[in-house]
Amino acid sequence: MAQLEGNCLIGQSGGPTAVMNATLAGIIEEALNYEFIEEIYGCLNGVVGILNEDFVDLAAESQQVIRGLKHTPGAALGSCRFQFTKPADYERALEVFKAHDIHYFFYLGDSDSMAMLDELDTYAKADGYDLRIIGLPKTINNDISGTDHCPGYGSAIKHVATTVKEIAADNAAIGEGDYVSILEVMGRNTGWIAAGAALAKRRDFPHDPPHLIYLPEVAFSEEKFIEDVKRVLAKEKYCLVVVGEGLVDEDGNFITLTSGATDAFGHVQLGGTGEFLRRIAEERIGVNARSCKLGIAQRSATHCASKADLDEAYMLGEEAVIAAVDKGETGKMITLQRGESDSYKAETGLSDLSDISSASKALPIEWINEDGVSMNFPFVKYAQPLIQGKVEVPEENGLPVFAKIKGTRVERQLGSYDL
């Protein structure tokens, strides 16, 4: 493969994760290995930063910052939910790339972003501009197709399952067969995160929490919930419930106490299922009930991140660069694949961007037990390797120290663009 000289651009999009900056660090550190990649730029706030020509010089960042990114939550370059929607956006992007001699573009995002990258690849090819585009999956929701799992998911469920074990120890001390504890977790369309709480339940320990997991994959019935809780409380001192924010009824409508506000993209702003179940438990079962809602804490808890997840996130960054630079790949998403051996080992692969489904990758229904509120062993076998190991986050004054990029601005070459 002939060396393609030029500059490199990196962007981050969507909801951040605990390990999204580890991927960024992996890209930067690998790209620094190639002398024919002269500049390593970051675009601020994802593709918005391309259209606005808001670039920062990542090669100018200190080693300390790059090292610190490996355990810094959030998206150091800023994120966005914006996608290119019209031909002019793609044309502007190519114009900006040409102005800055960008020939490598690495972009972290969800399924929506992969579709956009695919379109951008098409534009570049039609234009004859030599651009190598690699998408990098990231989401705690684990719902991107084409990859065995998504960086960010392992850390999110390690945090959720750890929290289940911890609040269970508390619940066990105060419950007397009359106590319901509810943990609401994220997951708009799929139950991947709520399912991950099942890792807290050890094999052959049927009394272990979580006792009940409510997933959007299983239609919710208030009467069944009441029966479920009563059944658990008949034999346990407390009933620990995990519920996803995206609970749906038999008609597929979201169940929530909130007013149905929508975000900038028309997504229903969920939340409130925990409080919803708490009220049913108190009012219809007559027990004490408490709820917790981890919210954004579950996607940013580097202090409880999975080392396996973090290492994979970093590796994806490195391998994306190798694929584009050494192997001349473009129009691909770098993926995690499970090796064939009995012991888990993540390997990287590549999927065509055009093959990435816009639909959420479903949690396999066959991994949900018949009771509808617990996960079976194949799920545990799938998820357990993803939460292994602890991440050492340095502390100062008793609190984690995070990296912040200096963000030296790259001079604009073009006029402004109307988003």
Q: How far apart are CA 283 and CA 299, in angstroms?
A: 32
Instruction: Give the CA count within 13 Å in the CB-facing half-sphere of 405.
Output: 27
Beta-carbon contacts of residue 76 (< 8 Å; ≥ 6 apart)? 12, 21, 24, 42, 69, 403, 404, 405
Out of 4, 60, 172, 322, the only residue in the binding site for its own copies (CB under 8 A) is: 172
Q: Is residue 399 near its own copies by the rule CB under 8 A?
A: yes
Q: Of 281 and 316, which CB lies nearer to its own copies in the complex structure?
A: 281
Q: How far apart are CA 135 and CA 332, in angstroms?
A: 6
- Distance set, CA 171 to CA 183, 198, 320, 324 (Å): 12, 17, 45, 51
Signed CA dihedral, 265, 46, 186, 251: sign only:
positive
Binding track, positions 188-207, relative to its own copies; x by CB under 8 A: -----------xx-x-----
Out of 2, 64, 128, 173, the only residue in the binding site for its own copies (CB under 8 A) is: 173
Q: Is residue 342 near its own copies by the rule CB under 8 A?
A: no
Taking CB under 8 A as the binding criterion, the range among 77-85, 119-127, 145-153, 367-375 that sits at the site for its own copies is 77-85
Q: How far apart are CA 360 and CA 111, in angstroms?
A: 8
Q: Of 296 and 414, which CB lies nearer to its own copies in the complex structure?
A: 296
Give the other-Cβ count within 10 Å of 332's Cβ. 27
Helix (H, G, I), strand (E, B) or coil at 395: strand
Task: Quickly tell me which residue has 């919710």 as its tokens.
Answer: 220
Q: How far apart are CA 217 and CA 312, in angstroms?
A: 28
Closest CA to 256 of 224, 196, 214, 306: 214
Q: Is residue 246 near its own copies by the rule CB under 8 A?
A: no
In whole angstroms, the minimum distance from the beta carbon of 59 to its own copies comes to 21
Binding track, positions 7-26, relative to its own copies; x by CB under 8 A: -----x--xx-x--------
Taking CB under 8 A as the binding criterion, the range among 84-92, 272-280, 347-355, 356-364 that sits at the site for its own copies is 272-280
Q: Is residue 68 near its own copies by the rule CB under 8 A?
A: no
Torsion of CA 87, 89, 91, 96, to 10 degrees: 180
Out of 306, 330, 335, 351, the only residue in the binding site for its own copies (CB under 8 A) is: 306
Out of 5, 38, 101, 166, the only residue in the binding site for its own copies (CB under 8 A) is: 166
Taking CB under 8 A as the binding criterion, the range among 32-40, 126-134, 248-256, 289-297 that sits at the site for its own copies is 289-297
Q: Is residue 261 near its own copies by the rule CB under 8 A?
A: yes
Q: What is the contact surface with its own copies in residues (CB under 8 A)?
A: 12, 15-16, 18, 72-79, 158, 161-163, 165-167, 169-174, 181, 183, 199-200, 202, 258-259, 261, 263-264, 271-272, 275, 279, 282, 288, 290-297, 299-304, 306, 308, 384, 387-390, 395, 397-400, 402
